């Protein structure tokens, strides 16, 4: 196994200092993060970091032992000075296009980009195009894809085992749509073979990021809810509840059983349909309850290991940029549906590919 050198652009929150609602953001290491993933993965070393905020950069680099001469205020300076194999892009989505394109054109072999992939479909398409031209592996960090339980659930759903033909999915998550519903929408893309066909959406206008993350007031992202068709599956998503009062839950109803998952309470409950009665049973291949300290945290290490394995020549792909673009398309459709008062069919056609949803 080769030894790979990694850098990070954007050193707050998910990069390694902790995210709201998961960590206390006290400046110490948050292992459920990109830096935590690098630290937990053999064959990869975090050697450099960038942030325009000098205080945040210093706190991150002190926590993760990044040398003083490898701390940069500008990503172009880092790319010029360092010989990097992997770069994490942990900036807000409205900066992803610039950072991913610059990293790819600098000759870096792999990029681990935070979700959502971009602020618009045009931006995502440009990122994908440049990465294809430069032969850069672009992996988007929709964390649930990299957890073993959801990977096994995908196999169960696609085989029909346990649930049979899934007909209904009901999801409750946290506001806002761009910050949190992107995980839900990407999970639909990941779990089901059919593509999202149409979307009806409502946006409330509420946004916790402006206050909690000192985000700019021109951020478009907001709380909202949606109904989606995914082949024969009807899905309902509610991301209107403030983080403190929310509880992330998924309910799957199929022809052979039903499944209830609550990520905050650690539940993973399954009922097998016997005749007309749902009978509690063990979920095939799923042992124990979901935990943030185990399943979620390991997702970051699994994502880094996946990027490393791709550099080693693995042809296994868990989270492609094209799939991330599909989930972004559904997200954009929610906003279009709200502002037009109509059901939106996918895939989106021009000029809707230009619609920008700024999230933080």
Report the pLDDT value the prediction gives residue 24, as an integer from 0 to 100. Answer: 47
What is the longest distance spanned by two Cα atoms in the chain? 67
Residue 22 has pLDDT above 50, yes or no: no
128/213: higher pLDDT: 128
The domain segmentation of the chain, as residue ranges, is 4-143+297-311, 145-290
Percent of the chain with pLDDT over 90: 78
Give the least confident one: 130-139, 166-175, 261-270: 261-270
pLDDT (tens digit, 9 = 90+) per residue, 296-324? 999 999 999 999 999 999 998 898 999 99
Tell whether the torsion through CA atoms of 36, 303, 236 and 149 is positive or negative: negative
Place domain 4-143+297-311 in its CATH homologous superfamily: NAD(P)-binding Rossmann-like Domain (3.40.50.720)
CA separation (Å) from 209 to 20, 25, 94, 100? 10, 15, 14, 23
Mean pLDDT of the chain: 92
Residue with token string 């992803």: 96
Give the mean pLDDT of 345-353. Answer: 91
Spacing of C-alpha 239 from chain mean position: 15
CATH architecture of 145-290: 2-Layer Sandwich (3.30)
Residue 54 has pLDDT above 80, yes or no: yes
Residue 11 has pLDDT above 60, yes or no: yes
**Does residue 225 contact residue 202 with C-beta atoms inside 8 Å?**
yes
pLDDT (tens digit, 9 = 90+) per residue, 269-280? 999 999 999 999
Residue with token string 């979307």: 199
Residue 204 has pLDDT above 70, yes or no: yes
Q: Which strands, in side-by-side order, build the sheet including 4-9?
A: 71-72, 44-50, 4-9, 86-89, 110-113, 137-140
Report the pLDDT value the prediction gives residue 212, as an integer from 0 to 100. Answer: 65
Residue 354 has pLDDT above 80, yes or no: yes
Report the pLDDT value the prediction gives residue 208, as an integer from 0 to 100. Answer: 82
pLDDT (tens digit, 9 = 90+) per residue, 84-124? 999 999 999 999 999 999 999 999 999 999 999 999 999 99
Residue 20 has pLDDT above 70, yes or no: no
Give the mean pLDDT of 207-228. Answer: 79
């Amino acid at each position: 196994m080769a030894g790979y050198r990694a850098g990070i652009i954007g050193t707050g929150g998910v990069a390694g200092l902790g995210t709201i609602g998961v960590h206390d953001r006290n400046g110490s290491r948050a292992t459920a993060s990109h830096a935590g993933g690098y630290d937990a993965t053999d064959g990869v070393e975090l050697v450099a970091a960038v942030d325009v905020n000098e205080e945040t950069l210093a706190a991150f680099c002190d926590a993760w032992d990044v040398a003083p001469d490898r701390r940069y205020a500008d990503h172009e300076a880092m790319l010029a000075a360092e010989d990097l194999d992997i770069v994490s892009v942990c900036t807000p989505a409205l900066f992803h296009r610039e950072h991913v394109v610059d990293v790819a054109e600098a000759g870096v072999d792999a990029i681990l980009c935070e979700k959502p992939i971009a602020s618009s479909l045009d931006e995502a398409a440009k990122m994908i195009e440049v990465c294809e031209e430069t032969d850069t592996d672009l992996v988007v960090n929709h964390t649930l894809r990299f957890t073993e339980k959801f990977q096994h659930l995908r196999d169960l759903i696609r085989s029909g085992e346990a649930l049979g033909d899934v007909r209904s999915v009901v999801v409750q998550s946290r506001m806002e749509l761009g910050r949190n519903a992107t995980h839900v929408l990407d999970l639909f893309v990941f779990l089901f073979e059919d593509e999202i066909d149409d979307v009806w959406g409502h946006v409330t206008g509420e946004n916790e990021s402006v206050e909690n993350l000192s985000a700019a007031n021109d951020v478009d992202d907001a709380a909202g809810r949606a109904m989606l068709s995914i082949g024969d599956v009807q899905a309902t998503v509610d991301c209107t509840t403030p983080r403190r009062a929310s509880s992330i839950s998924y309910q799957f109803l199929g022809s052979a059983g039903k499944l209830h998952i609550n990520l905050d309470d650690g539940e993973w409950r399954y009922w097998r349909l016997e005749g007309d009665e749902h009978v509690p049973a063990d979920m095939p291949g799923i042992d124990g309850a979901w935990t943030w300290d185990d399943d979620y945290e390991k997702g970051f290490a699994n994502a880094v290991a996946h990027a490393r394995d791709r550099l080693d020549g693995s042809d296994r792909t868990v989270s492609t940029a094209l799939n991330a673009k599909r989930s972004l398309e559904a997200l954009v459709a929610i906003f279009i549906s709200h502002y037009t008062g109509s059901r939106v069919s996918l895939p989106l056609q021009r000029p809707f590919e230009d619609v920008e949803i700024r999230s933080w």
